Chain A
């Protein structure tokens, strides 16, 4: 199989003890230990007040990661096609709907229903930035990050324009939390560009998953625990490699689906 190469133009990050790519970079570079703390989710200032009130934590996490990645890339967000991927969607909203539908009157709010679509975060983002570029929202359970990366790099390859990938997860409340335990919210934004531009090159390829191809773990134990517990955090070994930087070519193997991993070769000068 041939690799698909893209440029990495910008990064956004929000998660437990991770408050933005810029702040988290030292942790990811191995210069400071990761200190766990509940994910601090900012309010999306870009949304009109009415939409901001309606947006749940899943939408806010995705938008925070998207916002930082676009700023890091220095690109106008309204121009970017997007791929949003999440293993779960908006857990709180889903729980509230299921409780209401199990009740006697089954009255549910129109906003709850509207926000129940898996592409709610993408919809709010495109409203917030007034963007009419294409948007795809995906799910592949624990393989959701890998599915998003596959879709994102093949879109950049097809259209030869920069694109924003957002991978995020938000926990369900009980009782669904017991059926699908996710420890906290996590959001990652990556802006990719065509391979012939400036910046760090990522060459992405599919490789069979077998005992000889174990995914690259995170160097930091706290981050490694996060990588194992949160589908969107499966990207963390890539961020560690980027944060460590240097001129040396690096290869990380990201966990994708039972049959496949994603091999990412990192080369060149990255975003600083």
Chain B
């Protein structure tokens, strides 16, 4: 069992809006942020969760080299809920070199390169305003956030597809326990781009219909974009929530399909419970990975039932936000903190006919009850799994 880690501040920005209050309201009213895809000039049938106002974001001149959709979204989200001020305060309290930046993304600013390839010169060269390091490179997100706050502690980007920004919580604990940092900005940012839209379409996982987790006729995912952050600090007097445990595993099975029995997912959930020192019966709600692809939901259902049985209430929030890929872990951790604070288990959206083959206690309506500990699952391509156990402020 590990010491709980204090999450002193958090925030999130998704298709549901910017900041915690917008998400509280959207969850309470069962609103979805998904709409038929009108992103850029993409011509694909399907739904996406696009964040409003990303194109209009202007980075401060000192950060101009980082300008791309992903970093604009990252910046927009940093301005919500007093998060930027909280990071400044942590920097003052601990020192710039004692605060780490540990964030996750899957595609970073690759949209910038996709667009640059359309503007290649007659000689095939990329336009001179293209800035690979600060935009396309996977490490850009960490460098951008570090530069924005003048943080000089260890900085890295975890990129394990859709588990990326869940895993950074575990990395933060390791750096704190090693004594190398006193605080960490953790989180994840992923923005819409052609690679993921056309890529999931090529795999026939991007549904023409709105995504329907746990539905008998689910046909695949709806893509979203989002940014979410948490500030983890040593010796906190108060916290908005607690990281009680984390678990990580691999499937070792297939690059784009989960282990059919969810063996890796089971291992990740059990490790997270062990770290938290909790029995399965002490988890009040599970935020599922729940992408609405036929294979993923079936494998996760088996995994959840084998660890928790069929009584623990669970749901997927991807019908509200879309699948935000590398940001999903941090987004759903933030949604879990809202759930804990509000005593709200959000019902999964768009379910019309429950898949009779799935056994987990899937909620289709909001349920209100005091919550003490919840679990969030994030599973990604390459068979990368991560589970987090989060606890209520106390």
The residue from B139, B140, B161, B198 contacting A117, defined by CB atoms under 8 A apart:
B161
**Tally of B interface residues using CB under 8 Å:** 63
Q: Is the CB of A118 within 8 A of B159?
A: yes
Which A residues touch B173, using CB under 8 A?
158
Q: Report Cα–Cα, A109/B256, bound state, in Å.
A: 13
A99 at the interface (CB under 8 A from B): yes
Q: Is the CB of A120 within 8 A of B255?
A: yes
Q: Is the CB of B202 within 8 A of A139?
A: no
Chain A residue at minimum C-beta to C-beta distance from B248: A134
Q: Is the CB of B132 within 8 A of A1?
A: no
Within A100-155, the residues touching B (CB, 8 Å) are 101-102, 106-110, 112-120, 122-124, 126-127, 129-141, 143-144, 147, 150-151, 153-155
One digit per residue, 1 when the CB lies within 8 angstroms of any chain A CB and 0 when it does not, for chain B 126-148 equals 10001011000111101100000
Which B residues touch A157, using CB under 8 A?
174, 177-178
Q: Is the CB of B137 within 8 A of A137?
A: no
Q: Is the CB of A87 within 8 A of B175?
A: no
Q: Report Cα–Cα, A114/B257, bound state, in Å.
A: 10
A29 at the interface (CB under 8 A from B): no
Q: Is the CB of B202 within 8 A of A108?
A: yes
Q: Report Cα–Cα, A159/B249, bound state, in Å.
A: 13
Most buried by B among A115, A123, A133: A123
The residue from A1, A110, A131, A180 contacting B250, defined by CB atoms under 8 A apart:
A131
Closest CB of chain B to A128's CB: distance in Å? 8
Closest CB of chain A to B382's CB: distance in Å? 3
Chain B residue at minimum C-beta to C-beta distance from A155: B174
Q: Which of A37-45, A170-178, A195-203, A214-222 is the contact stretch?
A: A170-178
Q: Is the CB of B120 within 8 A of A175?
A: yes
Q: Is the CB of B139 within 8 A of A113?
A: no
- Given known contacts A118-B106, A179-B126, A257 and B97 CB-to-CB distance under 8 angstroms: no
- Given known contacts A139-B137, A259-B97, A113 and B195 CB-to-CB distance under 8 angstroms: yes
B309 at the interface (CB under 8 A from A): no
Q: Is the CB of B198 within 8 A of A98?
A: no
Q: CB within 8 Å of B: which residues of A? A: 1-2, 4, 51, 78, 82, 87-89, 94, 97-99, 101-102, 106-110, 112-120, 122-124, 126-127, 129-141, 143-144, 147, 150-151, 153-155, 157-158, 174-176, 178-180, 206, 208, 257-260
